[in-house]
Each structure stands twice: as C-alpha cells, then as structure tokens.
C-alpha cells in the first residue's frame, strides 16, 4: 500500500483532517446554534460544553491549527460522552432494533 499511496500521503492526510474536522464542527453547530435540524443547548450544561468543544475543536482540526491538541481534547470529550450515554447498555446501546 505504501508503494501506491506513499507519495499522496500528505494530501490524503489533509483531506481526511478536513473532512473529519468539518463533520465534528457540524455536530457542535447543531448543539450551539440549532443548525442542521439540531436543538440549541444552553452553554452552562454538559451539552453546551460538548458543543463548544466539538465546534471549535472541529474547526481547529479542519484548518490544522493546533490540530493535535484539538483532536486530543475532542477525543476525550467523545470518550466521556460514550461512557455516559452508551457504555452501560451493551454493544448496540442507543440503536433501535427491528
């Protein structure tokens, strides 16, 4: 794989960082601004703090400014969200079956 994609690795990394960062920022925009069918959450609650981390962290990741630190903080936030919401319910917690 390195032989075929090695020369494009920087462009692939840039494209991946852009797409993941913008997707993350979009989820934050849903919480902060009610954009894209989301609900605006108060900043004082956990969802508001998650929205700030997702939106601004996603933008930082997308543009590559302190992307490593932003990704570290954002991944920590996602781990906390997972364990608070999904971990106790089993493998497919939060998904409807049938």
Residue 23: pLDDT band with limits 50, 70, 90: very high
Q: Which two tokens stand for residue 69?
A: 């630190």
pLDDT of residue 1: 64
Domain residue ranges of the chain, discontinuous segments joined by +:
8-89
pLDDT tens for each residue of 34-56: 988 888 888 888 899 999 999 99
Per-residue pLDDT at 93? 54
CB 54 within 8 A of CB 33: no
Do residues 53 and 28 touch, judged by C-beta distance below 8 A? Answer: yes
What is the pTM assigned to this prediction? 0.79
Residue 70: the pLDDT is 95
């Amino acid at each position: 794989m390195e032989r075929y994609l090695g020369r494009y690795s920087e462009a692939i990394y840039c494209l991946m960082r852009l797409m993941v960062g913008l997707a993350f920022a979009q989820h934050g925009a849903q919480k902060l601004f009610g954009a894209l069918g989301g609900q605006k959450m108060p900043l004082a609650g956990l969802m508001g703090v998650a929205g700030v981390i997702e939106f601004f962290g996603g933008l930082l990741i997308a543009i590559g400014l302190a992307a490593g630190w932003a990704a570290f903080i954002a991944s920590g936030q996602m781990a906390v969200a997972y364990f608070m919401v999904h971990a106790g319910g089993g493998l497919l917690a939060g998904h409807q079956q049938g």
